[in-house]
Amino acid sequence: MSAAGAHSGWRSWRDWQAIGRFDEVLAGLALLLMMAIPLIEIALRPLHGSGIANAPVLVQHLGLVLAMAGALAAERGGHLTTLGGGLGGLGGARWQAALKVVAQTGSAALCGVLGWASWQFVASELDAGLTLAYGLPVAWVQMTMPVGFALIGLKLAARALPVLTPLPARLAVAVLAPLAGAALAASFDGASLPLLPAVLALVALLLAGAPVFSVLGGLALALFWNEGAPLASVPLSHYQITVNPSLPALPLFTLAGLVFARTGASQRLGTLFVALFGSGVTGTVLAAAVLCSFFTALTGGSGVTILALGGLLLPLLRQAGYPEDRGIGLVTSASALGVLLAPSVPLILYAVIARVPINTMFLAGVVPAVVMVGFLLVFGGFLRRTPGLAPTPAHAPGERGRAIRTALWAARWELLAPVVAIGSLVSGIATPTESAALTAAYAVLTQAWAHRELDTRRLAGCLSDGTQVIGGVMLILGMALGLTNYLVDAGIPDAAIEWVQATIPEKWMFLLALNVFLFAAGALMEIYAALVVLVPLLLPVALSYGIDPVHFGIIFLASMELGFLCPPAGMNIYFASAMFGKPIGTVARSVLPSLLAIFLGTLAISWLPGLATALPSWLQLMPR
């Protein structure tokens, strides 16, 4: 085929691909409805005593639509999480191309298995004839699973071959790979297949660069297959977590965070925190640490904080006479600490998995977050003066007061966002989903009308990015829950309790071993997968030592903060490298002092449970 013909074929392929943009529209519409329905409920409840029929269940099932459509958009945007590194960095171009073919077609085949298993699940629900509201059959919404997995498989396989491959060949691979997986599932569902070959193949796929969700789902399928159990158990788990009553809070808080991150909120908050703490070396360092933690809680992602604040804070630190390498280390490390502050998405997810009230977890994280910032600044050496560097003169008292008042007024809407999120929830005015919807609507309205920084185009960008992030995360959560359910059914937590108690009789030794294990897990696992896989396994063990579930959750999340700074899953390193234009090795060295500081802070939180439980207990919100 001539180069011109190949180029023409590729243009046709891109035109064919563009049809797939419907997924972003569908996911964005689902997210907007998830925000609108709870708001309508809040408005109608005082007037009529009720609002939209079965509104909570409708919102939960919109979460399933968002998850599958968002996952399709995430695949196109390259946002399906992979291990990173692996074998892809070895060998030449041909080796890497071969690995891509293996990873993409293997993942597509696994999507075919998941699609067929999902159809088996939906078929059983069709027979039940259940409806959501206004006569809408539940099975119609559940159909997004088999359709979604089939389309994801088709798109993964279509990208396996080189760009200039003729369109017919790409289409053939795109169709045949998921069909092969579906045919395999149809032929052997209910049969008992050997486990070891499947595990070895999945490890190879992971190292070759396959998306994490496909490997987790493949492992869950292999375990059920080995037992001769129905493969529909895995999509059932995916369905269960995507329609969890508290889970709609995740995409809604994510949307609110993205709106703040894409507007001038970071600049206004930066100005305020520097005014509050002073513009000298110590004040700027304190302002940077507190602001990064606060902004991560607000936006739901430490990587977003680095991208949004890095370009603002590093110049301020340099102007204050602070060494650049330590400034990079401070921003990179402090951005990991916000997961303990409301309305952090990991904090919400732990509450969902551990069945702890979300408002309790919101309060439990306040004091530990302050402790972690203190440990980072003191034991990380960020408050240490560097000889020979003159700090920037601080403002005169009157000047500083005026600067604080001006900055407070400018950032008033951003400062009220946590009050809206936490206040509406703790006061009982709103459910967790309604609180998240209020916060998302508040973010949109304040940035669009109060600051006039959010136009339709920028809002569409926030919806697009938010649905892709949530779609990719929800795929991982659903597959991880399938794996976890198998492990629970197999009695692994009970066996773990017996083994750990026999090996580690002392509670304080268990806490130390737990911290070390979680640090390693955080470096190897994406935080959402770690939450879904490890919390159901480790929480029963912690309970057997008399550890409160709220306290355990704070320990877990504090330990995961270290994982943000450790390759290969430590994404803060990669974000900071890209943001500051520095080699990954340079950024990694800059955060080394932070690793010890966060470790010591987590030990303090582990051995002093009152840091996590006192505030909720005082407000009588601890679960009984």
- The answer on 462 and 534 residing in a single domain is yes
To the nearest whole percent, how much of the chain has pLDDT over 90? 17
Is the residue at 467 inside a domain?
yes
Domain boundary pick from 242, 265, 282: 242
One domain, residues 438 and 302 = yes
In terms of domains, do 162 and 302 share one?
no
Domain count, the chain: 2
Residue 284 has pLDDT above 50, yes or no: yes
Q: What percent of the chain has pLDDT over 70?
A: 88
Domain contains 624: no
Residues 212 and 311 in one domain: no
Same domain, 416 and 283: yes
| Closest residue by Cα to residue 527 from 376, 308, 353 | 353
Supply the pLDDT for residue 278.
74
478/580 same-domain check: yes
Whether 363 maps to a domain, the answer reads yes
Same domain for 253 and 140? no
Instruction: Read off the tokens for 100.
Output: 């891509």
Q: Is the pLDDT of residue 443 over 60?
A: yes
User: 226, 242, 258 — which closes off a domain?
Assistant: 242
Please report whether residue 121 resides in a domain: yes
Is there a domain that residue 532 lies in? yes
Q: Judge whether 623 lies within some domain.
A: no
Q: What is the pLDDT of residues 210-236, one digit of tens each?
A: 888 888 899 999 999 888 888 888 999
Alpha-carbon gap, residue 105 to 344, rounded angstroms:
36
Overall average pLDDT of the 231-251 stretch = 85
**Which SS3 state, helix, strand or coil, does residue 257 take?**
helix
* Residue 153 pLDDT class (50, 70, 90 cuts): very high
pLDDT tens digit sequence for 38-53: 888 888 777 665 667 7
Alpha-carbon distance of 566 to 476, in angstroms, equals 20
* The pLDDT of residue 80 is above 80: no
Span 307-335, average pLDDT = 81
In angstroms, the CA 41 to CA 39 distance is 5
Greater model confidence, 524 or 176: 176
pLDDT at residue 568, rounded to an integer: 61
Task: List b or e across 536-564, with b for residues whose CB sees 16 or more CB atoms inside 10 angstroms.
Answer: bebbebbebbebbbbbbbbbbbbbbbbbb
User: Is 98 inside any structural domain?
Assistant: yes
Q: Is the pLDDT of residue 1 over 70?
A: no
286, 238: one domain? no
H/E element holding 219? helix 212-226
Q: In the predicted model, what is the mean pLDDT of residues 95-110?
A: 87
pLDDT at residue 254 above 70?
A: yes
For 67, 484, 485, the CA distances from 467, given in Å and listed in that order, are: 8, 25, 26
* Domain termination site, one of 178, 209, 242: 242
pLDDT value at residue 579: 72
Instruction: State both tokens at 67.
Output: 């998850």
Confidence of residue 19 (pLDDT cuts 50, 70, 90): very low
pLDDT in tens, 379-417: 888 877 655 544 455 555 567 778 888 988 998 898 888
Same domain, 273 and 193: no
Q: Which residues contact 48 (CB under 8 A, 6 or more apart)?
A: none
The count of other CB atoms within 10 Å of the CB of residue 455 is: 11
What's the confidence (pLDDT) of residue 548?
92
Same domain, 120 and 225: yes
237 with 254, same domain: the answer is no
> Is pTM beyond 0.85 here?
no
**496 pLDDT higher than 70:** yes
Could you tell me the pLDDT band of residue 10, with boundaries at 50, 70 and 90? very low
307 with 455, same domain?
yes
- Residue 344: alpha-carbon gap to chain centroid: 10
pLDDT band (50, 70, 90) for residue 147: very high
CA atoms within 13 A on the CB side of 64: 27
Tell me the residue range of the domain where 101 lies: 3-242
Does the pLDDT at position 590 exceed 80?
yes
